[in-house]
Amino acid sequence: MTRRVKELEKQAADLPAISARADKLKAEVRATHMLPCAARDGANIAPVPRCAGDRSQNRELTEKLETLQELLEAASAAESMVEELGAQKMMLEDRVSQLQATVEDLEVRACAL
């Protein structure tokens, strides 16, 4: 269980980087989808028909974006799971402390008899 918590903590730590990558890919998809090839390449000319590679490039970027969104959702779920497990761990540690105190009290009473 400790190993799983560490894995989830690592995934949660990766969340900001994944989010930034997703935002970057969104911007790339928007840029490639909205601009013809010549305009993307910096030429100041009237709009021209889209390049043949635009569709495959858009499809590829969209697939990457979807993958990153899935990773982002998984990392978010992992983060909430880590928080929940942390809270449970603290609760169990408190309970163990209470039980240890009870055992010590019972030992003292047993010795007094």
For 91-102, how does the pLDDT look when each residue is reduced to its tens digit (9 = 90+)? 999 999 999 999
Q: What are the phi and psi torsion angles at 47 (to 5°)? A: -55, 140
Amino acid (1-letter code) at residue 22: A
- Asked if residue 92 lies in contact with residue 1, where contact means CB atoms within 8 angstroms, the answer is no
pLDDT tens, residue by residue, 20-55: 777 777 777 666 655 445 444 444 444 444 555 677
The total of other beta-carbon atoms located within 10 Å of residue 54's CB is 16
pTM of the entire predicted model: 0.45
Distant-in-sequence, close-in-space partners of 53: CB < 8 Å, separation ≥ 6: 37
Boundaries of every domain in the chain:
2-112
